[in-house]
Structure formats: C-alpha cells, structure tokens
Amino acid sequence: MTEKIFQIAIDGPAGSGKSTIAKAVAERLCIDYIDTGAMYRAFACKIKNSGIDMYDEAALEKLLDETDIDFSKGDTLLDGVKVNDIIRTPEISMLASKCSALGPVRKKLVALQQKMGESKSVIMDGRDIGTVVFPKAPFKFFLVATPEERAARRLKELIEKGEKTTLEEVLADIKQRDLQDTTRKITPLKKAEDAREIDTTSLSIEEVTGIVIEEVKKHGYCQTV
C-alpha cells in the first residue's frame, strides 16, 4: 500500500515553540521538517550582506534570482554555506520580519515551500503555512504562549549562544515582532479557521508533541517510531 503524502502546518508568533515542536514531530513521524522561518532569515542575511535597499524592487528581484536556500542534515544553507547561528541574532530576526512582508520575497519562498511539500510528507512551521502555503493541509496547528514566556525562552537561547541581552530587551523585540507580523499587508499572521490552537505556555515539549502526533495517528496517516 502506498503511504499517503500529507502536510502538517504549524503557525504561531515568535517564541511559541513552533520550530522545537516541528523538529520533534518530524523525528517521531519520520518525515521532513522544513523550517520556513529559517528561509526568510537566510534571505534577510543575504540582504544585509549585499547592502541593497530591500525596498528597491529591481535590486530585490535580482538578489532573489541569485539566492539559493536549502536544508541538509539539520543545517540551513544559504548559497551552499551553513548559516545556522548567524540567522538567529535579534538583528536578523527583525530584518526577516520586515523582508517577509515584501511581495517578491514571499512569492518566491512560498513557491519553494509548496514544491517541497508536493512530493513527500512534510511538517512546516511559520506564520502563514496553514493559511497560504498549505491551505488544504490535513493537519493544522496554531501555537500560542504569553509574551513573557516567549521572551524567557528566547532569552535562554540567546544566552546559550553567548549573546548579551536582557529579558526586557527580548520582550520588547517579541512585542515589536508580533506587531509587524500581525499588521503587515501581505499574509499577516493569523490562525487558519480549521487550525487547532495549542497554548504552550505551561506545557512541556513532550506534551505538545504528543498532541500533534495523536491527531495525525487518529486519522491513520502514519506510524511513529
């Protein structure tokens, strides 16, 4: 029997646990995890390094044509170079939020994401996976958590990477990012009508992962390992 190809869409604001849960679910279900946020971060990094004005449409289109973003063994590759840590700085996070609101950027990256999910089962996380990238995905989840909890999680990540910042600064960044993501004109962050909302504020990674996996197993799509 041929295994069904399916998509799991996980959306939500920064720090709600999307990437962590998506990675855990992908491992348990033996499917590919596509970090769409990393794609936008990688392109934001390309913009920063190129020095172009992101609002110069001609220059932006040219840069997009010259950009290759891929994933390999858990690494994010920008033009063949691993950029895992570089794209996780607060500066790149804010720049990614801005450039993700640009039409040409979203058009190209959404097309790449849809192509990735056409031939194999995938789990993707981002801001518009369930509403734009895979509106017909059989499994949609929208993760939320309080701004304070999300900031605490982010601060822990940054400190572990040697970044020097404060909870107040990270919380301010989180709130600014939320504002940008929810008010942008092109595909703003919002919950798909048929998505299941999960408040991860007081839940463990194992608990949230279990909720997602049980939903998939309930519909007989695949087995866990």
Q: Is the pLDDT of residue 221 over 60?
A: yes
Report the percentage of the chain scoring pLDDT > 90. 71
Terminal-to-terminal C-alpha distance of the chain? 19
Report the pLDDT value the prediction gives residue 112, as an integer from 0 to 100.
87
Amino acid present at 184: R
Per residue in 126-156, pLDDT (tens digit) is: 889 999 999 999 999 999 999 999 999 999 9
The reported pTM is 0.81
pLDDT band at residue 63, thresholds of 50, 70 and 90? very high
pLDDT at 97: 87
Residue 23: Cβ within 10 Å count? 17
Structure confidence at residue 215 (pLDDT): 94
**In order of start, what are the domains of the chain with their CATH numbers?**
7-215 (3.40.50.300)
Contact 145, 7 (CB under 8 A): no
DSSP string, 146-185: -HHHHHHHHHHHHHHTT----HHHHHHHHHHHHHHHHH-S
